[in-house]
Chains A and B, each alone.
Chain A
């Protein structure tokens, strides 16, 4: 009975590791969008990660330049006004998907190519 249980646990562990590797290797931007909304990231960062001077100190996380590990480390233990999102709230896998979602955000046009922005005085 004990052997059966150990075999089952090893199999489950192997499956879990395989799943995590798959998740890490192939994060889903689509699922990341769901996780981004579900976990409330949009509240301060906007649905596109564009940020706000009012809620993210003006920081933009769309197309973030942070490597994933640095991104994850900050989300888990932020140093500024952002509250922490620990693993009990957002799994590593979900975080990888969120990262993929942010990476997939379209690059903004240059302001000079947007007529409504280009017409402004730069004084």
Chain B
């Protein structure tokens, strides 16, 4: 692929571009024709011209007419702007830059790997901008630190958009740099101009937290440090800084002031207002059946411990939603969503969809318009803590349906929990303590019974072929349970068996969904998560769905290229299964059988005939791989082999044919 579109541009300009332009403007003015010479006399007397501005003083006149002192460009005498950009980036302690190379940021690229010696950040070669963003997102979910990624002008940023949206919805910071060439009078014609934009950040402005277009080196320093601070302050989210290739290529301009890099200081996250927190505590402490629901609530082990403390203090059941682990799977206060029906007070912690937590939408109407019911008793008091309202934009609808809440608290959950815990301690009446203890005992008993029932459900179709998702997960767990393991962000939709059955008590053991549910996220995000785990010496495992892998399979190559160990076990149900069910559903509503052609599922939804040999795909990109595995008896031995490969530092993939969910 020839992506280099800079062939017509002199790679070593002899002049500082802006000074050149200023000089050209002065020369143009000096060369303009004088009116008296240009217009022949008509014999008509015209009044004398009135100046439209005061005549210039001596200083201004000199500035406008003197020949600019333009030194020849020389790397011996002047640093290119992109070297300074690298200094700025290095000040932020960013470890990796998973990116696809592109001419529109060639100067920054060169500075990163040569001037910056390809460390902090290290450039990780990606085959698609979507992969770069996905890796950064997955890395954050494990490491709780952002990465940067750099995208080509226009087309590259367009490639990146879907995973930027995922990160935005998931409150994950990614520092995105977008190459651009602003100067229409100077940039090369043809492709470089096509790949330039007047306002390149507009492509992603609706789903980034902040963006800027620096026009000087100093401006770049201010914008990048500001962007980093904004991105990493709750609610976290991606930010975009456009990198003008002219600014990056030119020598740094001398403004008579020394350039400086502002110091990055992490901002304290927003915490809930004290009065509202006390009111929430009062409701919770006096409730008969309080229920805590946590979604995108906890990013750190400290946060998880705080949540455990709150649940134990209240002896309240906690419902884990899917955006984060939030709460140990083994904790006896963990309960399924059905307990919401018994609640008289619900505390929702950074819920993606509060409305759907307390209401029920059933997609069962003949016209395809679902029916709505309630999941809660009348009079149930609702409390929310979350920072989503600080990130809401208008166009994209990630904010979900509006739910009226009795005590809405704007603030980061982890930042608010300490105050809430203290307020609950103060609010619990002595008279309620016995009842709370009994409540806790009943919840724990129910938890034990439910776990036993879940194990029995996992036993159904245990020997089936294709392999049941429960068997898949338990065979996998058996091979990794003795390691310091982490199930990295991934795409497999395996009926939640890992969080239902695997003991998990560390926040990196499960980090939840993509946020925006954009398919094509799983493979790159899993590589990003594995990258973070590699640096901590953890064993990474992903459950990789078939449909997701085909959006961005190049992520596999990046893992092999950069020696990122990862065990990817495929949940290969040979279809876009969600769509399989959607088309079937619509056909049923219309009382007709869907056309399945020669497949098993409605035309357009199967990934078969021919079956994709994902193991060969992975092998072609440097992975150890095996498959297709259809017999459950073959799975354990294959996993053993794959685990040994991953322990040796290489990625390995098993192509497993599975039941649909």
Which residues of chain A have a CB within 8 Å of any CB of chain B?
37-40, 42-44, 46-55, 58, 60, 62, 78, 80-86, 88-89, 105-106, 108-111, 114, 116-117, 119-123
Contacts and interface: CB of A to CB of B under 8 A. Distances in A.
Contacts of A86: 591
Nearest to B444: A123
B588 A85 contact: yes
A120 B501 contact: yes
Contacts of B364: 78, 80-83
Given A48-B461, A108-B456, A109-B462, A54 B496 contact: yes
Contacts of A37: 600
A88 B455 contact: no
Interface residues of B, number: 53
10 contacts: A47-B659, A50-B461, A80-B364, A83-B584, A84-B589, A108-B460, A108-B461, A111-B455, A117-B474, A123-B332
B437 interface: no
Contacts of A122: 448, 451-452, 455
> Which secondary structure characterizes the binding site on chain A?
loop
Contacts of B460: 48, 50-51, 60, 62, 108
B459 A108 contact: yes
Contacts of A89: 587-588, 591-593
A81 B361 CA distance: 9
Interface of B: 330, 332, 362-364, 447-448, 451-452, 455-464, 466, 468-471, 474-475, 477-478, 493, 495-496, 500-501, 503, 577, 580-581, 584-585, 587-589, 591-594, 596, 600-602, 659-661
B451 A111 contact: no
Given A40-B601, A48-B460, 18 more contacts: A42-B600, A44-B661, A46-B660, A46-B661, A50-B461, A54-B496, A80-B362, A81-B363, A83-B584, A83-B588, A89-B591, A111-B459, A114-B462, A116-B471, A116-B478, A117-B459, A119-B478, A120-B503
Contacts of A42: 600, 660
B456 A111 contact: yes
A53 B661 CA distance: 9
A55 B575 CA distance: 15
A51 to B, nearest CB: 8
Contact of A88 (B452, B581, B591): B591
Nearest to B473: A116
A75 to B, nearest CB: 10
A43 B332 contact: no
A121 B592 contact: no
Contacts of B503: 120-121
B474 A43 contact: no
Contacts of A49: 461
A123 B463 CA distance: 26
A50 B497 CA distance: 13
Contacts of B659: 46-48, 50
A39 B587 CA distance: 11
A-B interface, 5 closest residue pairs, ranked by CB to CB distance from nearest: A83-B588, A48-B461, A52-B661, A111-B455, A50-B461
Given A55-B581, A88-B592, A123-B330, A48 B464 contact: yes
Contacts of A60: 457, 460
A39 B475 contact: no
Contacts of A62: 460-461
Nearest to B500: A53
A40 B363 CA distance: 17
B495 A53 contact: yes
B591 A46 contact: no
A47 B461 CA distance: 9
Contacts of A80: 362, 364
A116 B473 CA distance: 10
B327 to A, nearest CB: 13
Contact of A110 (B456, B500, B501): B456
B660 A55 contact: yes
Contacts of B475: 116
Contacts of A106: 463
Contacts of B451: 120, 122-123
